[in-house]
Amino acid sequence: MALVAAAIGAVSALGLRELIVRLVNRTDGNSAAGATKATEIVANGSSHTAKASSAASASSGAAASSTAAADWQPARHVQPPHPDWKPGQPQPCPLPGGDTFIEVDTQTTPPGDLYPLVISAAVPRPVAFISSVDSQGGVNLSPYSFFNAMGFNPPTVAIGLCHSPARPGGKKDTLHNIEETGEFVVNVMSEWFVEAANHTCGDYPRGVDEMRLAGLTPLASTKVRPPRVAESAVHMECRLRTIHHVKNETTGAVTTSIAIGEVLAFHVSSGVAGRSPSGKLTVDMAALAPVARCGGVTYARCTELYELARPDGQGRYPGQQPAAAAAAAALAAGATGAAKKDGGGKKGAGGPAAVGGAAPAAQQVAREQALGGKQHPAAGAGGG
């Protein structure tokens, strides 16, 4: 919690206390604990702020980082876009011309015309900030947005590594390194260091250490050779399982290599660690502030989060509470007391569960029991 106080030291004491209450409630669902912890932090807020200011004034670069941290705000939970929607109710596209479509034949369209379409249509995309090393231990770091998680048993990720005509053999450094060592680390990009992360995406010559170039901090991994990025709050240490090379059927040239990796270890900062309704370790989206890639050089932030209950096999929403939408609206308006009244201060109430009612939380517990089995003893460790 000291990290929260330092990060938003420019906020007034009253505003800081309110924010911390929400963050603590969202993490452990205990309103009383949230209020107590907030009071403790605000009471010592001057010392936290002084320490943060002292560290920030050490250099102009540190001062700039401190300003960015002070400007950062966590996401808030709101009600869904249409909380009164009923099954079967039409939801047409509201945009002018929304009922007409432009067809693009990818077999006859030049690749240069397809690229801007693909990266603006498949959105938003998570960004894998990949650290890798070559056979000599040289570090490479670069962001890739053709990326996602593909499964959980075992935890599996896939990365699309597009080939570059400007590179010998078309392969970028990340692909070279993954093929040489069979290892890489996916570091999750968050808003507080997005500029430094973006600086690593330049077309630098092979052998350049982008981590050092961007001023980022290496952190030793535990299962693989590539280092983690200390500024990132979530790391996935990966071992290569297979690479699938995609060819252009017209030219026969390999244009993309899809690397599939198994996550050997997760490292989750205690600052973003949360708990599922059944108590399993999760990542708190509101605290993580992940960066999403959109078209061109456009990125997006997660500023508002909402939950949707899952229908059962008959299309019903069992257990959904009509008061959930009102509770979410009150929470979004700053009336945290409404969330406490509806949730009773129970585990998971007043945070994400209050947005979608009782159903999303109960359904999540059922899914965890069906898919995950018993919690691994190490899952409760929290930090990395």
Average the pLDDT over each of 56-60, 89-93, 263-267 and give the range with the smallest value.
56-60
| Mean pLDDT calculated for residue range 309-333 | 66
Range of weakest confidence among 44-53, 116-125, 236-245: 44-53
Mean pLDDT score across all residues of the chain: 76
Q: Is the peptide bond before 154 cis (omega within 30 degrees of 0)?
A: yes
Tell me what percent of the residues of the chain surpass a pLDDT of 90.
Answer: 52
* CA distances for 5 relative to 31, 68, 362, angstroms: 18, 14, 33
Residues ≥6 apart with Cβ < 8 Å to 113:
none
Q: Which residue has the higher pLDDT, 70 or 357?
A: 70
Residues 55 and 187 in one domain: no
Q: Give the HSE-up count for residue 38: Cα atoms under 13 Å, Cβ half-sphere.
A: 20
On whether residue 117 sits in a domain, the answer given is yes
List, for residues 134-158, the tens digit of each pLDDT value.
999 999 999 999 999 999 999 999 9
Residue 313 resides in a domain = no
Half-sphere exposure of 7 (CA within 13 A, CB side): 15
pLDDT at 104: 97
Task: Please report which residue ranges of the chain form alpha helices under DSSP H.
Answer: 2-7, 13-28, 31-43, 45-56, 60-71, 111-121, 173-181, 194-198, 210-213, 285-288, 323-332, 336-343, 352-356, 358-372
Over 70: is that where the pLDDT of 342 sits? no
Is the domain of 162 the same as that of 256? yes
More confident residue, 137 or 372: 137
Statement to judge: residues 53 and 128 lie in one domain: no
Q: Is 47 part of any domain?
A: yes
Same structural domain, 168 and 35 = no
Domain end, chosen from 217, 252, 268, is at: 268
Count CB-CB contacts under 10 A for residue 339: 24
Q: Would you place residue 73 in the very low, low, confident or very high pLDDT band (cuts 50, 70, 90)?
A: confident
Note down the domain range covering 185: 111-268
Last residue of a domain, one of 268, 297, 322: 268
Q: Are residues 50 and 175 in the same domain?
A: no
Residue 259 lies in a domain: yes
166 belongs to a structural domain: yes
Residue 48, C-beta contacts closer than 8 angstroms, at least 6 positions apart:
2, 5, 6, 9, 41
Based on the fold, state whether residues 55 and 131 are members of the same structural domain.
no
Query: Is 195 part of a structural domain of the chain?
Result: yes
- The span from the CA of 140 to the CA of 134, in Å, is 8
Give pLDDT, residue 3. 41
Angle of the 31-43 helix axis to the 45-56 helix axis, nearest 10: 60
- The bridge status of strand 304-305 relative to strand 76-77 is parallel
At 94, the pLDDT band (50, 70, 90 cuts) reads very high
- State residue 62's pLDDT score: 45
Task: Give the pairing of strands 254-268 and 234-247.
Answer: antiparallel
Same-domain pairing of 254 and 130: yes
Q: pTM for this structure? A: 0.69
Q: Which residue would you say has higher pLDDT here, 305 or 37?
A: 305
Model pLDDT for residues 198-214, shown as the tens digit of each residue: 999 998 999 899 999 99
Q: pLDDT value at position 170?
A: 86
Asked if the model's pLDDT at residue 18 lies above 90, the reply is no
| Residue 133 in domain | yes
Position 327 scores a pLDDT of 52
* Residue 74 confidence (pLDDT): 76
Verify that 64 and 129 share a domain, yes or no: no
Give the per-residue pLDDT at 364: 63
pLDDT tens for 307-316 read 888 888 888 8
Q: 12: burial class by Cβ within 10 Å (0-12, 13-18, 19+)? A: exposed
115/264 same-domain check: yes
Query: Does residue 156 belong to any structural domain of this protein?
Result: yes
Q: State whether 134 and 264 are in the same domain.
A: yes
Who wins on pLDDT, 320 or 150? 150
Q: What's the number of domains the chain is made of?
A: 2
Q: Which of 277-281, 309-313, 326-330, 336-340 has the lowest mean pLDDT?
A: 336-340
CATH number at residue 193: 2.30.110.10
Residue 46 shares a structural domain with residue 115: no
Most distant pair of Cα atoms in the chain: their distance? 68
Q: Cis omega (within 30 of 0) on the bond before 124?
A: yes
SS3 per residue for 115-150:
HHHHHHHCCCEECEEEEEECCCCCEEEEEECCEEEE
Residue 195 in this model has a pLDDT that exceeds 60 = yes
- Say whether both 171 and 234 belong to one domain: yes
Name the one residue in this structure whose structure tokens are 């941290």.
69
